[in-house]
Structure 1
């Protein structure tokens, strides 16, 4: 009986790890690195420093997504990945972008699921600012309590329409049903880190302790994510992945 249970737990663990790797393996970036270096070289020769810097930002982001296959990272690295994205957007939109960052020092060393913050920041730029007028403002805050971590993204975009909020809530309910039935076939999409992608991975790791809140604020939209902190071998982890 015990051997059977252990085998089931091991199989379940391997299944979850496989799903995480599938969600995080967006593309083979090696050919993109070479292409970026070529573009960067041309930009230098043409005296286009902004293009060179944008290539550098994108190269750092690709290197991050292509690095080790671990499904959890230090929260500071995840934070840095999102900052690189905003840095690239500021180069594109210049003074039209205002960014504020506030990461609690006590979060250092906590490990969280990889690629959960930047996709939400990107969503603000792709959708929140689509019908808004500049300056575009985005603020990212990282906080913790004794047993939980949280990241919050606020923007001054158009916010979520009531119908959009209803669709998101309905989609999340469907994901919850599939997760409870261990049916991942219709939700593990590869090709883009969507909001649902982040939600699914948080729920897979933290279950009922997962935090994923979407709402409108007085100026735009707010998205908050979080989970519990697990202490293992003297280290703190946002998730024991």
Structure 2
């Protein structure tokens, strides 16, 4: 079957556009669904961190009180001497009142714990808190409380007791507790301190930020697999919480074909694991919406491509159809008078296309020239603006501010102004790229002093430099970018207090080294691998393309430019070493004095 040119063009354009639409939709769906899943996992991970931090804070408050109690010499002496006194006597009553007040002082004015109890296995019981009405069968309850022996076995280490009904109070409050044992001689009756916290606080802590309309559930289990939250009431089965290794896993429900997405995070401090259970249908709901959206966009794209294919095929085949009609009407009588004006349009299409391509190339060249000219003009204007700012004006202003602050009694602000003035003077005072190690250390110390002022007691540093190395020549801005990296990355995921240690020491007879260490979160695996690859290249003598300092900016030198400048400064005499520590990272630069 013979097909017209327009039909052939239409089919070709349609097939091509269909392939493009289908492949674009497929790539869009795959990439977007992957991004949605990763975003959901990251959301769960952040929520787990929030739950874990909140739970750690609650346990840390109880642990602080328990530690204060067991290390109190007054309380230990009282428990050791308690068997020698009659509790019903006035002296015994007065002593109990005294130590109840001592427990109250350890609890603080905010009643961090609703109830603190001192318990001995011989039946002695002393408590202070919101409920002082104790059960009459205390001695029997003490014998039946199995967790007391568990706490004694831990020999002073903390024990978290899961939520349960109180054995001591008449109104039987529902709570969980942290228990520690006193380290008494074996000849003495063992004793423990129990610091209680209400189950309502645990419930509020684990429900903060959760969407009630969501099917998401939060669980807390200990290392033995016992469910710490939510509490299973008497007569009901505790929730089935799976065990696995890793962070996230898809697990099918045993009673149905449905599946859930589980995420978990264990706290090394409490030994508790927080888990989030989320129905897979809920997790995949945005993917389902995305799938429908992709189909709609693909259908619309196909319809638009069909229309475009029809218009293009009709436009391209129009001159040929016109010529065909004229040839059908051509005969011997009108061969010399039949105009074929449209025939010129076929040539003009090719000429127009060639002209357009030439014009596009010239326009692209002209546009690039205009952009480059404008870029040079803007850079020159920016440099002119920078040149207008007299550094001496800034130095004098900061010095005046420091003097005024010193005279006004604000010595700390005066010191900070002097530190900032010193950094500015160091940055602009000399055009040389080479300074002494002592000058670079002083500049870095000024930077860390500013950061220490900024974080108000959450950051500290130490600097140890061999006096024999103070005159060593080093490239300018060597240490400060490495210290700044700790604040930009290392301390973002680490809790304060933060610490940076800078050491310069003689390594061998003909070598010395600079070592920078922090207690942050260290390098992520991807960043560590990339930096190690850079270090291997530099140690092997391969240097990457280094951006100019004027374009990069002193504040954004980064590790890449810093290490590359070191390699260019010391050549093969320098070696780098980077490693992650259990807490933080350590970076070493070793320089040989001879090749």
TM-score with structure 2 setting the length = 0.31
Q: Give the Cα separation in 1 of the matches to 2:542 and 2:548.
A: 9
Q: How many residues align?
A: 203
SS at match of 2:496: coil
Superposition pairs of residues 85-100 of structure 1, within 5 angstroms = 85-100=447-462
Is residue 520–residue 583 contact of structure 2 (8 Å, CA) maintained in 1?
yes
Match of 1:205 among 569, 583, 590: 569
Deviation, structure 1 residue 207: 2.5
Which residue of 1 is the match for residue 496 of structure 2? Answer: 134
Q: Equivalent residue for 1:19?
A: none
Q: Distance in 1 between matches of 2:493 and 2:408?
A: 34
**1:226/1:30 CA distance change after superposition, 3 Å:** farther
Q: Which has the larger radius of gyration?
A: 2
Of the structure 1 ranges 146-155 and 48-57, higher mean CA displacement relative to structure 2 is found in: 48-57
1:224 maps to 588
SS in 2 for 1:165: helix
Does residue 83 in structure 1 map to residue 83 in structure 2?
A: no
Q: Kindly tell me: are residues 41 and 109 of structure 1, through their superposed partners in 2, closer, same or farther at Cα, counting changes over 3 Å?
A: closer
CA distance in 2 between counterparts of 1:180 and 1:114 reads 19
Task: Indicate the residue corresponding to 2:516 in structure 1.
Answer: 153
Cα contact 2:577–2:589 (8 A) shared by 1: yes
CA distance in 2 between partners of 1:200 and 1:154 (Å): 20
Name the counterpart of 1:56: 418
Most deviating of 164-173 and 122-131: 164-173
Compared CA separation, residues 200 and 30, structure 1 to 2 (3 A)? farther
Would you say the 8 A contact 2:463–2:501 is kept in 1? Answer: yes
Q: Distance in 2 between matches of 1:221 and 1:47?
A: 40
> Residue 105 of structure 1: CA displacement?
2.2
C-alpha distance in 2 between matches for 1:29 and 1:160:
37
The separation in 2 between residues aligned to 1:228 and 1:32, in whole angstroms, is 39
Deviations 1:124-145 (A, max 9, x none): 1222111211111111111123
Larger RCO: 1 or 2 (CA < 8 Å, sep 6+): 1
Deviation at 1:57, TM superposition (A): 0.7
Is residue 2:531 matched to residue 1:168? yes
Gaps of 5+ in 1: 1-26, 231-241
8 Å contact from structure 1 (residues 150, 224) kept in 2? yes
**Cα separation, partners in 2 of 1:170 and 1:30, compared to 1, 3 Å:** farther
Task: Determine which of 414, 435, 439 is the counterpart of 1:73.
Answer: 435
Task: Indicate the residue corresponding to 2:558 in structure 1.
Answer: 194
Deviation at 1:172, TM superposition (A): 5.3
- Is 1:149–1:228's contact at 8 Å kept on the other side of the alignment? yes
Distance 2:567 2:390 in 1: 27
CA distance in 2, matches of 1:88, 1:35: 18
Contact 2:578 2:585 in 1 (8 A): yes
SS at match of 1:226: strand
1:74-110 alpha-carbon deviations (Å, 9 max, x no partner):
2111111111111122222232122122112221322
* CA spacing shift, 1:151–1:174, aligned 2, 3 Å: closer
Asked if the contact 1:172–1:196 (Cα under 8 Å) also holds between the matched residues in 2, the reply is no
Q: Return the TM-score normalized by structure 1.
A: 0.71
CA distance in 1, matches of 2:590, 2:540: 21
What's 2:232 paired with? none
